[in-house]
Amino acid sequence: MLPPASQSASTPVVSIKDVTHRYRSVVALDGISLDIPSGRMVGIIGPDGVGKSTLMSLIAGSKKMQQGKVIVLDGDIADARHRGTVCPKIAYMPQGLGKNLYLELSVYENVDFMARLFGLSATERPIRVKELLDATGLGPFPERPAGKLSGGMKQKVGLCGALVHEPDLLILDEPTTGVDPLSRRQFWTLIDDIRKGRPSMSVVISTAYMDEAQQWDWIVAMDAGRVLATGTPAELMERTGTKDLEKCFIALLPEEKRSGHKELTIPPRTAAKSEIAIDAKGLTRRFGSFTAVDHVSLSIERGEIFGFLGSNGCGKSTTMKMLTGLLPPTEGTATLFGQSVEAGSLEVRKNLGYMTQAFSLYGELTVRQNLVLDARLYHIPSEKAKARIKELVEKFGLGPYLDSLASDLPLGMRQRLSLAVAVLHEPEMLILDEPTSGVDPVARDSFWELLIDLSRRQGVTIFVTTHFMNEGMRCDRISLMNAGKVLACDVPQKLIDERGAASLEDAFIGYMEDAIAGASPNGESKDKAATSTPSAGQSAAPPTPLEHRAGRFSLGRMLAYTANETMQIRRDPIRLAFAFIGSLLLMLVFGFGITTDVEHIRYASFDLDQSPESRTYLEQFAGSNRYFTETTPVYSADEALMRLQSNDVALVIEVPPDFGRDFCRGSKPDVSAQVDGANPFRGETVAQYAQGVNDTMLRDPASGLYTGPNKYTASIQERYMYNPTFESIYSIVPSIPALLLVLIPAILMAVSVVREKELGSIINFYVTPTGKMEYLLGKQIPYIVIGMINFFILALMARVVFGVPIKGSFLTLTLCTLLYLAATTGIGMMTSTFTSSQVAAVFVTAIITIVPTIQFSGLLQPVSTLEGNARIFGLIWPTTYYMHSSVGAYTKGLGPALMIPDIIFLSCCIPIFWAVSFAGLRKQEK
Amino acid sequence: MTTLLNILWLGLKEIRSLASDLVMIMFVIYAFTMAIYVQATGTSSEVNNASIAFVDEDGSALSKELFNAFYPPRFQVPEAITASEVEDAMDKGRFIFVVAIPNRFESDLRAGRHPDIQVNIDATAMQQAGIGANYIKNIINQRIATFLKRTDEMVREPVNLVVRMLFNPNGESAWFKSVVAIINQVTLLTIVLCGAAVIREREHGTLEHLLVMPLTAFEIAIAKVWANGLVILIATGASLFLIVQMALKVPFNGSVILWFVGVVLYLFFTTALGIFLGTSSRSMAQFALLIILVVVVLQLLSGGSTPVESQPQWLQYITFFLPSRHFVSFSQVIIYRGGGIRAVWPNFLMVGAIGLGFFVYSLVLFRKSIAVTK
């Protein structure tokens, strides 16, 4: 490793010592030591996966330090107290377009949210936010949801959020990846303007576009978790004797990585055949009102390498999908080799190799399995397939990886595998969607060697998209695309010459500006004018120092999260539907679906006696309509069994021969009741009803079979308390809210936290002064409110749909519900601390809440009958107590006094759940 | 022929993918072993360990005899409480049953009067109250009779109703619950596996990769159906033999093959449903939320938790279109009642018809959705 070539006179803003960071067995940072000078624009350059992002997030304090020491702004960033004091001085924008934005929230709301987290007052905020939006050219659309912005605009919103509190250290992780050249240039102008306003601010930026870093003050070149070199760009280029940073970077790479790399040369295309391979006319694709691709016409010759340049979201991929037949065009036609590409045409696809933007092979299969699968699906005869795979493996250098899982391959190798798979069936046409994004320059060059070989030697037509300008230069012809339109299409050098530009990028920007000038003045067209405003980033009155506001519990920050969460869920139809329609639907299903009432039992009589007495006996069953429904009698034992088997009847009453005679003689005959016992509860109930009919008949003087009172019998008075008609609806309906109000709020709460982990916006919690309690409580409040609304809806349904009113104290039950919801959302909070994907959060929370609620809380089996562990669990599970209150208030008519123990228990649960969640929630990424 | 081969290869790939998903495999294994055992042996719908108290105002030999007539496992050892405590104890949910024996009970009885015994029942404990009250009545009658007649002989009524429980003579709830548990797991797991397979393929972009190949949506979908269906079928078989038959000793009265034919028909429906949900949800998270709603409906209304006959009539017309209801129904017929094809063909027909209809619908949707994948 080379020592830092030029050391700044002032103390470094960041000082890194022996930092090593691992993800399981993968080493991301390998003993890095580095001093970053302050007040400079510092670039960290290197391809994907070399540890840039890890390093940035360690500096920002968003990731937990494993080994080594990082001093940021004169303090150890691993020290939580130091982080608390300096985090208002640091701004961090993570990698990924709009990664830390809330996509449902508008531009203004996003920036305002960050301002609230940094404790700006209600009067400061609108001024500051407006200032930033105007400076970044976002002023005209504060209401637009972040999810509907282009990549460049998202990055600007992110930048506004980062600058809202006037940081001393600005950390930007690949802010321009995937952004179109014009927006990119505007972004850098913006940063320059801001730095002019705050010269003391240090900026640390990472990028995979080496050419961008050319103008920066100081460069750190990284590879494989190590620092290759540091210094000013001029120094580095001089040292390596190269003319641009990309070549310089390659020269800095260790010997073994560079071996085999040579300057890429492209043999000129022999324009012998001029057969048209792709012919697209007026291709247009609309998604709703949004036009993704707007009248694109192309004509590509066989064997040509045709490049498609543009930013993310400009319509490149959509165009490709229309050409491959994946997506039917709204208007226009496309033909491949004269054949029309209609979605589903299998013939065309056999001639086509396609490599999608993201790695789209099966990561869980090995390299060989992936190749074999595709060979089979293309029906290449197995002998031929073997030979072909062998050939490709050799040519693409996949040999050493043949039996490793595709997901374990290094990025460059994965791209080669994708290409191998795409050309396996020897297609005449290859369509490649950003095949080299993120790949290091050496691997990129060798990938291009393969492409050139395919084109020049095998006559394969290649259609490739990229956002690397130097890759565009390698194509025979390119077309520049922006906002769904092709701006220009020609040989790259010609395009440059035509505009008299210095480079392809300048030419592209020129075309874009022309297009914007020609279009109506709306949308992003205002960006340019706005960004040149010199006042960018300089606020008239600097906000009050913010340090003192960190550390203590702040109601403002908590409410900021509450407001944020409320807005998000209100704009998410699926979660909203789950919250309200879900409980409505489940209430109906449970209410009507669970019942222990056994009524209208279908039975058949089997009368072997046919005497007046036997008929009288059987009539008694027919007489009790609520319980028994008579069906046609059976006449043989076989028939009886058959009908019981097929579930036609649940009971067969068999009166034996001579029943009448025996009865009259007083010799007490037997009658047999065959009961379907497949469902034991039902079978037992049926048997009891039958017994009941039998007993009543014998004691009823009017029945015709009365034989006088029995001596020595007590009269047993059964008193069905609380529910005199003994209909299960009065017991089930009040139990359902207890179940639903744990299930739904807990799941929603867990998802709300885990969703942030999954989407990345949790970084806002890591790098702002937000405390754990502020975060948790702020997020909990909306779900308690949702739960309360649900409670009222369910109470209304119980009354109106099921006719089960609340007999007891409604007010006390409402209080109980409030506490219960605080506890159940607390359960969701706890599960969110140890689950990392939304799916896991949903299932784990569902299982954790449903199982004990059904088994141990008294829903089906009263807690008083539980034994052992089940009993203990029943006694500590909050639902048990709410169940008691709910059934008590609805059906038993209990007053407030009897709910007090429930209230006390539930109140005790809440702080416990908070404490557990507090302990489990991390303030830094692991 | 090429279609068949494609389906075969794609299906094998599907199984390989699943095999590498350790969490999912563990989940499937757990769901078909432990979870079923626990559900089957967990809460019982039988009256078991029921809480009971006595208010004995008589204090006679007979009242003590009655007090001692209740013992575990069916009942807990009764507690003696006073009349004034009854209300409060019941409100707190301490007891399901409180038996009150009045003053001069024994002497009234001996005098040939018919004194009242009051049985207070917590009628919100639906599963225990009705059956339990009946037990209490029978036990009390029996004890009084034997006590006063000084004989242990059964007292015979003028007509004696002899109840024969068919198909599950001892009324063991584990028999019923284990099979219902399998049915529920089949429903849940097939939907999860199939839906996740669709979403995973879409989120990883591999679906696009398949679509540019000479494959049809039908081939892609049917491969998922057979592969995931097969996995569940094997798991179901293993669970039936290992857990239900060996561990829980539930007899299988009918034809095992016939039942599996039914399972295959049902799997056709659930895989189609999985593809449907996987296609219509935009992300795994939405899929998870949807599953909860759908599976709860399918399971609760199937007749596995409460008999279909107990549903309101209008609801029965709706649940008639739920294949899970027919699955529960034919499983009971085949497994307990030993019924043959003659008894179950209407169920089979219904499951097959709905499965097919749903499959066609899901396929159309799947095709449409991949046409507009962004």
- Is residue A298 within a helix (H) or strand (E), and if so which, with residue range? strand A290-301
- Residue A667: C-alpha distances to residues A28, A662, A714 (Å): 93, 5, 24
Any idea where the domains of chain B sit in the sequence? Answer: 2-43+171-371, 52-149
- Measured between CA atoms, the residue of chain A closest to residue B337 is A645
3-state secondary structure of A740: helix
Three-state SS sequence of A548-586: HHCCCCCHHHHHHHHHHHHHHHHCCHHHHHHHHHHHHHH
Q: In terms of DSSP bridges, do strands A290-301 and A276-287 run parallel, antiparallel, or are they unpaired? A: antiparallel
- Same structural domain, A506 and A562: no
Task: Give the model's pLDDT for residue B357.
Answer: 92
Task: Give the model's pLDDT for residue B67.
Answer: 92
- Same structural domain, A624 and A562: no
Sign for the CA dihedral angle at A639, A640, A646, A648 comes to: positive
Tokens encoding A363: 């990561």
Give the separation between CA A636 and CA A646, rounded to whole angstroms. 16
- Measured between CA atoms, the residue of chain A closest to residue B280 is A574
User: Residue B290 in contact with residue B268, Cβ under 8 Å?
Assistant: no
Determine the distance in angstroms separating the CA of B41 from the nearest CA of chain A, rounded to an integer: 11
- Same structural domain, A223 and A343: no
Strand partners, A568: none
Determine the distance in angstroms separating the CA of A157 from the nearest CA of chain B, rounded to an integer: 24
Architecture in CATH for domain B52-149: 3-Layer(aba) Sandwich (3.40)
**Which residue's entry shows tokens 């599970």?**
A877
Cβ contact A713–B20 (<8 Å): no
- Same structural domain, A695 and A772: no
**A407 touches B: beta carbon within 8 Å:** no
Decide if pLDDT at A868 tops 50. Answer: yes
User: Residue B294 in contact with residue B273, Cβ under 8 Å?
Assistant: yes
Q: Nearest Cβ partner of A598 from B124, B163, B310?
A: B310
Determine the distance in angstroms separating the CA of A336 from the nearest CA of chain B, rounded to an integer: 14
Cβ contact A711–B125 (<8 Å): no
Cβ contact B164–A672 (<8 Å): yes
Q: Give me the residues of A, 702-741, that contact B with CB < 8 A.
A: 705, 707, 709, 711-724, 726, 728, 730-732
Residue A526: CB atoms within 10 Å: 16
- Same structural domain, A509 and A382: yes
Give the separation between CA B226 and CA A900, rounded to whole angstroms. 56
Cβ contact A713–B120 (<8 Å): no
In a domain, A537, yes or no: no
Decide if pLDDT at A344 tops 60. Answer: no
- Same structural domain, A454 and A569: no
User: Residue B35 in contact with residue B185, Cβ under 8 Å?
Assistant: yes
Cis peptide before A612 (omega within 30 of 0): no
Question: What region, left, alpha or beta, does residue A123 occupy, with left being phi > 0 and alpha being psi -120 to 50 degrees?
Answer: alpha
Determine the distance in angstroms separating the CA of B330 from the nearest CA of chain A, rounded to an integer: 9
Strand partners, A307: A464, A478
Residues 6+ apart with CB under 8 A from A754: A832, A835, A836, A837, A838, A840, A841
Query: What are the pLDDT digits (tens) for A785-801?
Result: 999 999 999 999 999 99
Residues 6+ apart with CB under 8 A from B268: B225, B229, B351, B352, B355, B356, B359
Residue A702: CB atoms within 10 Å: 6
Q: Give me the residues of A, 39-78, that contact B with CB < 8 A.
A: none
**A799 touches B: beta carbon within 8 Å:** no
Determine the distance in angstroms separating the CA of A847 from the nearest CA of chain B, rounded to an integer: 10
Q: Give me the residues of A, 326-345, that contact B with CB < 8 A.
A: 326-328, 343-344
Decide if pLDDT at A670 tops 80. Answer: yes
Mean pLDDT of the A216-244 span: 89
Cβ contact B124–A892 (<8 Å): yes
Angle (nearest 5°) at CA A310 between A304 and A312:
130
Residues 6+ apart with CB under 8 A from A306: A278, A298, A300, A461, A462, A463, A464, A475, A476, A477, A478, A479
In a domain, A671, yes or no: yes
Q: Give me the residues of A, 828-847, that contact B with CB < 8 A.
A: 837-839, 842-843, 846
- Residue B79: C-alpha distances to residues B131, B139, B144 (Å): 20, 17, 20
Cβ contact A865–B171 (<8 Å): no
**A756 touches B: beta carbon within 8 Å:** no
Query: What share of residues in chain A are helix, strand, coil (percent, to 5)?
Result: 50, 15, 35
Give the separation between CA B286 and CA A864, rounded to whole angstroms. 39
In a domain, A247, yes or no: yes
User: Residue A729 in contact with residue A802, Cβ under 8 Å?
Assistant: yes
**What is the count of structural domains for chain A?**
4
Mean pLDDT of the A217-231 span: 90
- Asked which of A254, A284, A305 is the last residue of a domain, the reply is A254
In a domain, A56, yes or no: yes
Task: Give the model's pLDDT for residue A326.
Answer: 77
Worst-scoring range by mean pLDDT, A8-12, A33-37, A843-847? A8-12
- Pick among B94, B162, B165 to test the A interface (most A CBs inside 10 A): B165
Which is higher by pLDDT, B3 or B54?
A: B54
Task: Give the model's pLDDT for residue A508.
Answer: 87
User: What residues of chain B lie within 8 A of the CB of A344, using their CB?
Assistant: 216
User: What residues of chain A lie within 8 A of the CB of B297, using their CB?
Assistant: 585, 589
User: What residues of chain B lie within 8 A of the CB of A681, using their CB?
Assistant: 45-46, 127, 131, 173
* A723: amino acid identity, one letter: N
- Pick among B135, B292, B349, B369 to test the A interface (most A CBs inside 10 A): B292
Question: What region, left, alpha or beta, does residue A604 occupy, with left being phi > 0 and alpha being psi -120 to 50 degrees?
Answer: beta
Task: Give the model's pLDDT for residue A541.
Answer: 44
Cβ contact B296–A589 (<8 Å): yes
- Same structural domain, A778 and A902: yes
Specify the CATH number for the domain of residue A303.
3.40.50.300
Task: Give the model's pLDDT for residue A840.
Answer: 85
In a domain, A152, yes or no: yes
Mean pLDDT of the A106-132 span: 91
Task: Give the model's pLDDT for residue A709.
Answer: 67
Q: In terms of DSSP bridges, do strands A715-721 and B116-122 run parallel, antiparallel, or are they unpaired? A: parallel
- Residue B256: C-alpha distances to residues A858, B167, B331 (Å): 37, 16, 10
Worst-scoring range by mean pLDDT, A179-193, A413-427, A515-529, B320-334? A515-529
Task: Give the model's pLDDT for residue A529.
Answer: 40
Determine the distance in angstroms separating the CA of B233 from the nearest CA of chain A, rounded to an integer: 23
Q: In terms of DSSP bridges, do strands A169-173 and A202-207 run parallel, antiparallel, or are they unpaired? A: parallel
Decide if pLDDT at A672 tops 50. Answer: yes
CB pairs under 8 A between A and B: 379
In a domain, A259, yes or no: no
Cβ contact B329–A865 (<8 Å): no
Give the separation between CA A190 and CA A184, rounded to whole angstroms. 10
Confidence category of residue B152, pLDDT binned at 50, 70, 90: low
- Same structural domain, A214 and A349: no
Task: Give the model's pLDDT for residue A537.
Answer: 44
Q: State which residues form the domain around A465.
A: 276-521
State the DSSP string of A372-419: HHHHHHTT--HHHHHHHHHHHHHHHT-GGGTTSBGGGS-HHHHHHHHH
User: Residue B239 in contact with residue B33, Cβ under 8 Å?
Assistant: yes
**A875 touches B: beta carbon within 8 Å:** no
**Among A290, A298, A378, CA closest to A341:** A298
ipTM: 0.87
Task: Give the model's pLDDT for residue A604.
Answer: 94
Query: What are the pLDDT digits (tens) for A548-582?
Result: 455 578 888 999 999 999 999 999 888 899 999 99
In a domain, A675, yes or no: yes
Determine the distance in angstroms separating the CA of B16 from the nearest CA of chain A, rounded to an integer: 7
- Same structural domain, A510 and A378: yes
Decide if pLDDT at A921 tops 90. Answer: yes
3-state secondary structure of A764: helix
Residue A450: CB atoms within 10 Å: 17
Cβ contact B288–A843 (<8 Å): yes
Q: Nearest Cβ partner of A862 from B93, B213, B283?
A: B93
Give the separation between CA A331 and CA A329, rounded to whole angstroms. 5
Sign for the CA dihedral angle at B87, B88, B89, B90 comes to: positive
User: What residues of chain A lie within 8 A of the CB of B9, using their CB?
Assistant: 373, 376-377
For residue A726, the 8-state DSSP code is: -
Tokens encoding A523: 């949308």
Give the separation between CA B262 and CA B339, rounded to whole angstroms. 13
In a domain, A533, yes or no: no
Query: What are the pLDDT digits (tens) for A453-463?
Result: 888 888 889 99
Decide if pLDDT at A104 tops 80. Answer: yes
Sign for the CA dihedral angle at B329, B332, B337, B342 comes to: positive
- Measured between CA atoms, the residue of chain B closest to residue A341 is B212
User: What residues of chain B lie within 8 A of the CB of A758, using their CB?
Assistant: 285
Decide if pLDDT at A112 tops 90. Answer: yes
**A676 touches B: beta carbon within 8 Å:** yes
- Same structural domain, A318 and A411: yes
- Same structural domain, A216 and A93: yes
**Which residue's entry shows tokens 């259609």?**
A463
Specify the CATH number for the domain of residue A676.
3.40.1710.10
Q: Nearest Cβ partner of A713 from B9, B90, B144?
A: B144
Give the separation between CA B190 and CA B211, rounded to whole angstroms. 24
**Among A25, A15, A32, CA closest to A67:** A32
Task: Give the model's pLDDT for residue A595.
Answer: 82
- Same structural domain, A559 and A668: no
Cβ contact A327–B371 (<8 Å): yes
Average pLDDT, chain A: 85
Give the separation between CA A368 and CA A389, rounded to whole angstroms. 8
- Measured between CA atoms, the residue of chain B closest to residue A744 is B289
Give the separation between CA A590 and CA B300, rounded to whole angstroms. 7
Percentage of chain A with pLDDT > 90? 31
Determine the distance in angstroms separating the CA of B374 from the nearest CA of chain A, rounded to an integer: 7
User: Residue A530 in contact with residue A136, Cβ under 8 Å?
Assistant: yes
Cβ contact B300–A858 (<8 Å): no
Tokens encoding A92: 């961090």
- Residue A22: C-alpha distances to residues A19, A25, A31, A762, A926 (Å): 10, 6, 11, 21, 10
Mean pLDDT of the B180-209 span: 88
Worst-scoring range by mean pLDDT, A243-252, A629-638, A808-817, A875-884? A243-252
Mean pLDDT of the A355-381 span: 86
User: Residue A899 in contact with residue A873, Cβ under 8 Å?
Assistant: no
User: Residue A293 in contact with residue A315, Cβ under 8 Å?
Assistant: yes
Confidence category of residue A910, pLDDT binned at 50, 70, 90: very high
- Measured between CA atoms, the residue of chain B closest to residue A713 is B114
- Measured between CA atoms, the residue of chain B closest to residue A697 is B159
Angle (nearest 5°) at CA A43 between A65 and A48:
65
